[in-house]
Chains A and B, each alone.
Chain A
């Protein structure tokens, strides 16, 4: 037994070299790749770095069109709006980003508070209604999503749809409404709802919803799917998920959107925003990209293909979309974005809706 181990390593060594050699080979190849990766940038052409909180599948075609028309090279980093805003704040004055696209005004407002955003050209800002841009002109909305009530068309007759979000706390909606309490669009909506009605009314509404058996789902899409298959009858969601599901499933999708009565606090337009970084060394081209986002053709693409509401003045929303809500998030001035959202989050947590 003692002498056996001496033979052992010799036999094993081949196993090691079989394991290690391919690894070393891969390592060498990749170091070469690493070394050459940085050499590809062409400095002659104009180029912009974009941080996009909107998904590539949605806005990618818009960027490609811009590159084709202007010859500008776009370097786009995709991610969640909140994460990209955090990355930009960590990069600070050393960021290479020129343009930031965000799902909602919140992350842009956060960067504005840090003084990281540059004023946008008036010509670009004037493409949209004053409600759809920041008061100091540091971000501009380019597409809208409406907060609506999605419902199951087999179980809810159209005549019985509620006119107001306040109806949902009544006994007729017991255990029937889904709320995406941790979702950022819901929090955007609730923040505006709070500011319009006061904390007292807003808190009571949410508490009543919880008492009425409202169910918590983490995502808008999960709600639309659950409503479509009859798991729950109603849900407070963004409008476009249902359009996407219908596009994918056709008549098999058994859900539809309902907009609350005009002016009701249940409806709200949440706008995707574009901003230019203060550190950008080519603000002219950056403004050009924003103008492109708000051009008629790209706004038509956004509403016809992606089912969002166009924000450029004079561009009509696609026929299939419900009437646009009157209020937009941008229209409500948030003096201190962070404080308002902190307050929103603590009311939502205290209501217990996240445990439903």
Chain B
């Protein structure tokens, strides 16, 4: 266990996090409980619907019609989280801690694949590889008969890995850039090679961030609908969607199963995080930079490969559709059915609603993160579960549950169809993405700083605003950034509970896709990617990772 903070030398301060030493204040516990209750609303609705459903539920759960999709869901979730953990961590290290050429550029583009709505990304991949698609045609042009068809587990794994690794990358990069360099310097001085330093010193210090990120990837994967649908891989969400109208007993029972799976994984992650070493330290000088030397080119190749597949390839495929539409217009076959009005309003709405959702989310989960990071206990675990599980519930179900609660079980009936309910939906659905990184951010602030400030007579609020929050800012910004990117592409809840006529880019993308105006879909999707790149740069990258 831990010795008193502030006494031990830096090296041994990577101790099991020194929580439990102080009791949480009742106000903090009460606030966290209120937040958790609000987050538990969708889960509560799902459980209630499943509990009141007819039919033999045990029979249903034990049947192969349930177990097969469950097994596929677990397989996919584990595969994707493991792969993204490796890719995300490597990219984070390369872009924050090495002399990788063009680091600024990589830091902006590496988080961006997160912004593709998974059905758009998967569709772009599929159409690029089939005859008539740009990849296939280019291969044919150079004499290769490309007969690559993506589907099933492989297809879903590839697409989801490429579009979700930023969940690991962002928190790990934020953490890495705030790590003290003393440990690494010492290891280097003692003769460790860069790879050994990475393995023995760096990884243990970012393990909690990796675990938090991989958890998000797992939850995203098991609740994804778009990619698995297009890749024809029958997971639990697929069955839930297929039976949602005409076999609701089954649909809700499977949703509870999904929720249960999420909770099991959440508590597993929490166990790892609690056991893991956590550096209660923050960098006091710009982080150590490792010279890559002869590894420079291979590293560059790895970054290019990932970005090429995850960002450029889908963008090229989309641009191909878009250009196709433009040429079609030039040939006079049919005009592009998009005008400025279809673009400006939705773009602005997308920007401000996602920023608002991100800020509200970070503020809402802060008490929870603070409680979790500073005080251990069962209550914390339960609260964490309530917040994180909201991500495993499909967006459609979140929307239905909020319609139900707002209209039939709250005094806020008048709020239905207004923006506060929509923002609330985003917050409970995506809060999980901020709680992990916020927790890491909170626990990264050395207690001795707060203690010192207290000795100097600073009150609780002043300590928080002048000492702790500034140190937490990069982590909080990273969490907010994830929520922002997710909100920008959210569709099912936006369609059902936004004020009528409130259009976001995701809504417009869906609209044109439904009407099979693929060139228009592609142009809108590219705009969404560009806007996200800009916002990621302005609000996340500049602050979460200091550029030297």
Interface residues of A (CB under 8 A from B): 1, 4-6, 8-9, 12-13, 15-16, 18-20, 22-24, 26-27, 29-30, 33-34, 37-38, 49, 55-58, 75-80, 82-87, 90-92, 94, 96, 106-107, 110, 182, 216-218, 221, 225-226, 229-231, 241, 244-245, 247-250, 337-338, 341-342, 345-346, 349, 354-355
Contact = CB atoms under 8 A, between A and B. Distances in A.
A289 B159 CA distance: 44
Contacts of A4: 284-285
Interface string B351-365: 011011011100000
Nearest to B249: A342
B407 interface: yes
Given A9-B470, A29-B352, A218 B131 contact: no
A1 B284 contact: yes
Contacts of A250: 333
Contacts, number: 182
A249 B334 CA distance: 9
Contacts of A5: 282, 284, 446, 449
Contacts of B497: 87
B473 A12 contact: yes
A345 B238 CA distance: 13
A92 B408 contact: yes
Nearest to B511: A56
A94 B413 contact: yes
Nearest to A348: B242
Interface string B236-247: 001000111111
Contacts of B470: 9, 12-13, 15-16
26 contacts: A1-B10, A4-B284, A12-B473, A15-B546, A18-B543, A19-B477, A22-B538, A23-B539, A75-B501, A82-B245, A83-B496, A86-B396, A87-B496, A91-B407, A96-B417, A182-B238, A229-B131, A230-B131, A231-B131, A245-B516, A338-B247, A341-B246, A342-B247, A345-B243, A346-B65, A355-B234
B515 interface: yes
B422 to A, nearest CB: 10
Given A18-B543, A92-B407, A218 B229 contact: yes
B35 to A, nearest CB: 18
Given A23-B539, A75-B501, A94 B408 contact: yes
Contacts of A12: 470-471, 473
A1 B283 CA distance: 11
Contacts of A337: 246
Nearest to A87: B496
A216 B238 CA distance: 15
Contacts of B400: 86-87, 90
B473 A16 contact: yes
Given A23-B355, A57-B514, A91-B407, A15 B473 contact: yes
Contact of A57 (B242, B352, B512): B512
- Main secondary structure, interface of B, reads helix
B496 A79 contact: yes
Nearest to B180: A1
Contact of B399 (A87, A226, A355): A87
Contacts of A84: 496
B418 A30 contact: no
Contacts of A80: 495
Contacts of A94: 407-408, 413, 416
Interface string B319-333: 000000000100001
B246 A57 contact: no
B143 to A, nearest CB: 19
A244 B328 CA distance: 14
Given A4-B285, A27-B359, 13 more contacts: A5-B284, A22-B539, A30-B356, A57-B512, A83-B492, A86-B245, A91-B403, A225-B132, A248-B328, A248-B333, A250-B333, A342-B246, A354-B234
Interface residues of B, number: 74
Given A9-B471, A96-B417, A355-B234, A231 B247 contact: no
B292 interface: no
A90 B466 contact: no
A23 B356 CA distance: 8
B299 interface: no
A85 B480 CA distance: 33
A57 B517 contact: yes
Contacts of B198: none
Contacts of B500: 49, 75-77
A83 B495 contact: yes
Interface string B407-451: 110000100111110000000000000000000000000100100
A106 B246 contact: yes
B83 interface: no
| Most chain A C-beta atoms within 10 Å of own C-beta, residue among B407, B420, B497 | B407
A225 B355 CA distance: 38
B473 A57 contact: no
A345 B245 contact: no
A37 B418 contact: yes
A247 B331 CA distance: 13
B247 A345 contact: yes
A83 B398 CA distance: 12
Contact of A34 (B132, B416, B420, B495): B420
Interface in B329-357: 333-334, 337, 352-353, 355-356
Contacts of B517: 57
